[in-house]
Chains A and B, each alone.
Chain A
Amino acid sequence: GAVVSQHPSWVICKSGTSVKIECRSLDFQATTMFWYRQFPKQSLMLMATSNEGSKATYEQGVEKDKFLINHASLTLSTLTVTSAHPEDSSFYICSARVARHSTDTQYFGPGTRLTVL
């Protein structure tokens, strides 16, 4: 299968600071990556769709100036949480779309646990 990595796996920061999370596709090129947020005991909530070389498409209710997404290459997308506050504490997960021949699916990274103090 396809491998997606995330860095860091966890981060603790002070309120008001910015945090950058990296999502990399290790053995394939991903034209489309997705960023999710997950609260305890809930399924994944899509935040934005990131297409290489273009602006990300944000879901309703997700502030684009708060959650900056950059998909500068076919193997890297970054999510920056700007001026983080305690309510931004969550589990952030990225995924990459893999379309090959007759198959088309998403592979997920291991997630990043953000804690804002």
Chain B
Amino acid sequence: GQQLNQSPQSMFIQEGEDVSMNCTSSSIFNTWLWYKQDPGEGPVLLIALYKAGELTSNGRLTAQFGITRKDSFLNISASIPSDVGIYFCAGPMDSNYQLIWGAGTKLIIKP
């Protein structure tokens, strides 16, 4: 089915480094959601974006809703070991709020 284009697929970084990942779509979205999923757990909502151009922070995380409404990025500053996991972007497809998902970005932190 339809999927958002999320990149990179995986990242190997040193602890303390900043991280950046993004999602793009050929379609316009009115909402962008960023989730983190740990192994064996359900996704946890990190940041929700509702307005084009909106820049929102949640602790060390910052996400922006692209002005064209076709893209979004998520930044993590000063990464720590507990940031390890898979990050997904998602956007609602229709009025019933079914989500379209990115393929995920796996974050691995080298000690």
Contact = CB atoms under 8 A, between A and B. Distances in A.
Given A105-B31, A106-B33, A111-B41, A32 B96 contact: yes
B32 to A, nearest CB: 10
A43 B88 contact: yes
A72 interface: no
Interface bin, chain B? 20 to 34
Q: Which among B42, B45, B101, B103 has the highest number of chain A CB atoms within 10 Å?
A: B42
B98 A49 contact: yes
A104 to B, nearest CB: 7
23 contacts: A1-B45, A34-B99, A43-B88, A43-B101, A44-B99, A46-B99, A51-B96, A57-B96, A93-B42, A93-B43, A95-B42, A99-B97, A102-B50, A103-B50, A104-B50, A105-B31, A105-B33, A106-B33, A106-B97, A106-B99, A108-B43, A110-B41, A111-B41
Given A46-B98, A103-B50, A111-B41, 13 more contacts: A32-B96, A43-B103, A44-B43, A49-B96, A49-B98, A93-B43, A104-B50, A104-B92, A104-B97, A105-B33, A106-B33, A108-B44, A111-B42
Interface of A: 1, 4, 6, 32, 34, 43-44, 46, 49, 51, 57, 91, 93, 95, 97, 99, 102-111, 113
